[in-house]
Amino acid sequence: MANLLELRNVHTFIGQFHILEGVNVSVQHGQITVLLGRNGAGKTTTLKSIMGITPPKTGEILFEGSPIHGKTSFAVARLGIGYVPEHRAIFKQLSVRENLEIAARERGDLDRSLDFIFDLFPDLKRLYHLPGGNLSGGQQQMLAIARALVPNNRLLLIDEPSEGLAPVLIEQVMEAIKRLSSEKTVLLVEQNFRVASKLADSYVIIDEGQSVASGSMADLSKDQALINKYLGVA
Amino acid sequence: MRTILGLLRLFFSFGKWLYSTSAFTLVVALLLIVVGVALYASQGNMATFSITILSGLLRAMLLFLVAAGLSIIFGLMDILNFAQGAYFMLGAYVAYDFQHSNMGVLRMGDSIPDPNLRFVVGVLLAIIVGLVLGFVLERVLLRPLYERPLFQLVLTFGVSIVMLEFIKGVWGTTPNSWTAKLALQDAQFELFGQPFSMYRLFIILAGFIMIFAVALLLRRTRIGIIIRAGVEDDEMVNALGINVRAVFTLVFALGCMLASLGGAVAAPFLGATPSMGATFLLAAIAVIVLGGLGSYEGTAIASFIVGLAWATMEQFSLFTNIGTVLSSTTPMLLLAFILLLRPNGLFGEAR
Amino acid sequence: MNRVGKFLKENWLYLTVLVLLILLPHLIGWATDSSPLGVQRGDRFIMRGQSTYWQSVFIELFALAILVMSYNLMFGFTGVISFGHALFFGGGAYITGMTLEFMGLEPTLGLLVGVLLTLGICGLLGLTIGLATLRLRGVYFAIFTLAIAEMVWVFFGRFPATNGEDGLTLKSLPTFIDPTQNRIFLYYIALAAFAFTFFFIRRLVSSPTGRVFQAIRENEERAKAIGYHTLRFKLFAITVASTMAGGAGILHGILNKSARPEYLSVTHTVDALLMTIIGGVGTFVGPVLGAAGLELADVLLRDAKLTLGTTVINVGESWNFLLGLVFIVVVLVFPYGIVGTWHRWRAQRRKPK
């Protein structure tokens, strides 16, 4: 089966800085793929390049076989890609309900997905009418993920969901991602290797703006040398 | 010497209080002060007092129509639209010209003999002109410049100059006063023995309705949710699959439309003058600064405070010898005071 | 000797222009057979003839160029935007004029006091406005300057002591600088002020202080993070620019022998902004070229007519409208201005090799 998402030799500049210098990523249907790498390696920029927020200068990005590089961010999203940025970029002045409502692309999106969302994150049901800014960090992360589940997205890009969360909450969020992956394909950015190794099916390592290794997560877990080289504390 | 020091200390502690006190107390206090001064300025004459308050409310509504667009546009796209005053003025000129056959630009107004109907059509025309020109300004002129915000500011300023010069070129540089008679203007009601035209009341009521209509739009509709979300983080809204740039255009055009509407309904009192754009722009900026940049509630409340204060100062200026100077510089004076004493406004966060 | 040589090598173009400008009244006089001093009647000179006419054009040009250069110091080099620069321009004319007319001093002393007062008050006023608003976001400075300028403009339009709309006529101007009697002297004063401003700004901007200005323009947060007290630098730029604009206003006032409300009007702010952008934001020569180009165009096209189909547009009457249009077009399609575009073109031609 063809890959759902495919990045071929992507180069991205931010201002005059060459951030991505050749990134290749394949994301297969129904899998959780994780982008690993040190801080500043270019993982977040990879997600932003897919979303068209920092469009790539050269290279190809294919979604379901058709090119999406060069499309604006909203057009990319409408193809069925949900984006959960780092630092939980929810709308703090809007209520939880409005945060979900704004993500709906068609009439009925919210009603259809609400049961699933409340099932995944029971907390949100209780907080439904509160402003997003009143939520705790973990609850905001759940809301950000839930928001990407409202429309009928086939691919979710999730950036560092465990960042800054207490261990109990990390478990909760990871459990949710595991569960939703039965319905959605996920491309995850994760610093925490332990978390990533439990969750992901396959991995791509990015180092200094280049994808340097990829394969199945099971293989990586055995390859201590590779882990030390790119992920260990240098 | 001691009294001077005491006064200075009083002034500074007042300033400090203004800087630090809560928004609610401040709103109540400012309204009380303004109404108190208005009472004093009318020298106990209730008829004069009611004139001041009514014209203050009227000003407040007109100010709101200019300031609402200014505030929402600023919150959403970070552009302070210096052309907003020019749209207000253009609205007044369009409505005025359509009503008066001696002006001779929009002659088609003559085909409607009934002045009331003609006025309604003129206002509609002003709305359309505002909407279309607002659309053009955002789409054609501002859109290429989102990467260079300083130049956007410069450009709206340039557009305001072009519009002013255009108006001067077409309609001349002398002020035009409204001579047509509308039924609503002739109809009168009495307050403390002082007759007022019903039109005043109508505008005030219509203004209240507009305040609530825009509030409902922002609170209850999908586009309102998108606007409020865009104020926080437009990049994220875009990444959710919403064409934020299209929303920008729509909001910008609507904002300009509100200003034109304001100008059109103001024309029966204020006529059409080349200076009204700058005056209302500065007063509206005073409103949004006082309300806190980007806060809709703040804008609505501050419209009242500034409108009433404006009318009060004009009343005050009637019995001072620098009266005319005082009354025509009122909006700028208010703006200067607000900027000096509470630059973050009533409901604004320090940015 | 070496340093002099280096200075000459770096500045030969500017020095040539300066020499040409010094000789200009005589060159025009020689070419058109008119005396640079005007026509002598008894022991007085009447300002008639091509040379004296062009002297007045150039005095106006120097005043405008100083105004534009000062605007560029704020907008182009430091990134501070003001919509009320006319305040200092018109203010300069009014302060000097009121000192001359109302203080009852001997004319020469009065002029001296007026100039000092003007420069002091303008600098102080700029500093105060900066202090009040610069801690806030940049847009507040634009708002505040616009408000103050409009207020002062309206005020002088109705202020009885300075004859409201009609403005103040400078009757007590000392004879040696009076443009109706001794224009060439005013010409050299204006030229000196212009040259001083040009070289001063050049020196200032290439000094360490000037580099901080530009760092602020590029990224204020970063300049702060490096450890610069950016507020102080911005205040300094604004104070210097306001003082210079006041000086330009003095020249303009003396040349026209008056102080009128329209000197304070937003038109002069627009002129400064437009000429900065047309010439090239953040360049040294750009503002001068912008000012020269527009002033000469104004002089030459004032009576021109533009025929579009059946409608005839009188260029002089719609000058401000046309300027506004040019302004919009330049911002949109030509944002680096003449000099900026030239620099880019040259840089690009060098690169590929």
* pLDDT range class, residue C203, cuts 50, 70, 90: confident
A134 neighbors A143 (Cβ within 8 angstroms): no
- How far apart are alpha carbons B79 and C133 in whole angstroms? 18
- Verify whether the Cβ–Cβ distance B153 to C132 is below 8 Å: no
Neighbors of chain C by Cβ distance (3+ pairs < 8 Å): B
Domains and CATH numbers, chain A: 5-230 (3.40.50.300)
- Which residues are CB-contacts of C94 (< 8 A; sequence separation ≥ 6)? C156, C162, C168, C249, C253, C259, C263, C264
For residue B274, which residues of chain C lie inside 8 Å, CB to CB?
none
Q: Provide the number of structural domains found in chain B.
A: 1
**C214 vs C206: CA distance, rounded Å:** 10
For chain C, domain boundaries: 50-280+290-295, 305-353
CA dist B145 and B126 (Å) reads 27
* Chain C residues touching residue B289 (CB < 8 angstroms): 140, 143
Residue B132 falls inside a structural domain: yes
Whether residue A37 contacts residue A206, with contact meaning beta carbons closer than 8 Å, is answered with yes
CA distance, residue B238 to nearest chain A CA (Å)? 5
Return all residues near B217 (Cβ < 8 A) that are at least 6 apart: B223, B224
Residues facing B73 on adjacent strands: none
Contacts of C321 in chain B (CB under 8 A): 162, 165-166, 168-169
Residue C195: the pLDDT is 92
Cα separation, C199 vs B177, in Å, equals 52
Between A77, A99, A101, which is nearest B239 by CB? A77
Q: Does the structure show a pLDDT above 50 at B351?
A: no
The structure tokens listed for C263 are 């000197």
Residues 6+ apart with CB under 8 A from C312: C305, C306
Q: Averaged over A59-86, what is the pLDDT?
A: 88
Among the partner-chain residues B82, B155, B339, the one whose CB lies closest to the CB of C331 is B155
Judged by DSSP in three states, A10 sits in: strand
pLDDT of residue B102: 67
Asked if residues C142 and C116 have their Cβ atoms less than 8 Å apart, the reply is: no
Question: Is residue B149 assigned to a domain?
Answer: yes
CA B325 to chain centre: 21
Q: Do A74 and B233 touch (CB under 8 A)?
A: no
Distance CA B307, CA B4 (A): 32
Q: Give the pLDDT band of residue C353 (cuts 50, 70, 90).
A: very low
- Is the Cβ–Cβ distance between A44 and A86 less than 8 Å? yes
pLDDT value of residue A194: 80
Q: How far apart are CA C346 and CA B329, in angstroms?
A: 50
Quote ipTM for the complex: 0.87
Rounded distance between C-alpha atoms, residue C37 and residue C49, angstroms: 9
Identify which of B231, B235, B241 has the shortest CB distance to residue A151: B241
pLDDT in tens, B1-34: 667 777 777 766 766 666 666 777 778 888 888 8
Q: How far is CA B292 from CA B34, B185, B278, B310, B345, in A?
A: 19, 35, 21, 19, 4
- Location of structure tokens 């002069």: C268
The answer to whether residue C50 scores a pLDDT higher than 80 is: no
Q: What is the pLDDT of residues C236-285, one digit of tens each?
A: 999 999 999 999 999 999 999 889 998 998 888 888 888 898 888 888 88
CA-wise closest residue to C318 among B105, B276, B166, B86 = B166
Which helix (DSSP H) or strand (DSSP E) does residue A35 occupy?
Answer: strand A32-36
Q: Which residues contact C288 (CB under 8 A, 6 or more apart)?
A: C65, C68, C69, C198, C279
A184 — phi, psi (to 5°)? Answer: -120, 155
Q: Which residue range(s) make up the domain with B134?
A: 50-341
User: pTM for the full model?
Assistant: 0.85
Beta strands A58-63; A5-14: pairing state: antiparallel
Lowest mean pLDDT among A31-35, B138-142, C23-27, C312-316: C312-316
SS3 A2: coil
Q: Report the distance separating Cα C294 and Cα C186, nearest Å.
A: 22
Beta bridge partners of A84: A158
What's the CATH code of the domain at B218? 1.10.3470
pLDDT single digits (tens) B92-147: 999 988 888 766 666 666 677 787 888 888 899 999 999 999 999 999 888 888 88
Q: How far is B94 from chain C (nearest CA, A)?
A: 19
Integer Cα distance of C33 and C14 in angstroms: 28
Average the pLDDT over C315-344 and give the result. 82
- Domain assignment present for residue B272? The answer is yes
